[in-house]
Amino acid sequence: MVRKNKTAFRPSLDPKGTLSSILTIKLASTEPAHKYEPAKDVIRKAKSATWEYNKAHRK
């Protein structure tokens, strides 16, 4: 199932970037999305990247 992205950052989602990667992974998976559990290392790196991004963009 594909739904319209209604976030404020929708225009910045490059079709050849993150959004495309997410859709590719979801479409390639045979299991439901709610059963997907990323590796601990992936979660750690994502949290670290989010922290750094938020720190750099504070007002």
Q: Which residue has the higher pLDDT, 26 or 57?
A: 57
| pTM of the full structure | 0.46
Evaluated on CA atoms 51, 54, 57, 59, the torsion sign reads negative
- Measuring CA to CA, how many Å separate 13 from each of 17, 41, 49? 7, 24, 17
Q: Answer yes or no: is 1 within a domain.
A: no
The verdict on residue 31 lying in a domain is yes
- Alpha-carbon distance 27 to 4, whole Å? 16
Q: What is the pLDDT of residues 9-56, one digit of tens each?
A: 655 556 566 666 666 666 667 788 788 788 899 889 989 999 998 999
Look up residue 1 and give its two tokens. Answer: 């199932």
Instruction: Decide if 2 is inside a domain.
Output: no
Would the pLDDT of 1 be above 60? Answer: no
If one counts the domains in the chain, the total is 1
* Residue 5 falls inside a structural domain: no
Q: Can you tell me which residue has the tokens 């479409």?
A: 27
Q: Which residue segment(s) compose the domain that 43 sits in?
A: 13-56
- Predicted local confidence at residue 37, as pLDDT: 84
- Does any domain span residue 6? no
Q: Is there a domain that residue 3 lies in?
A: no
Q: How many Å separate Cα 53 from the centre of its chain?
A: 14
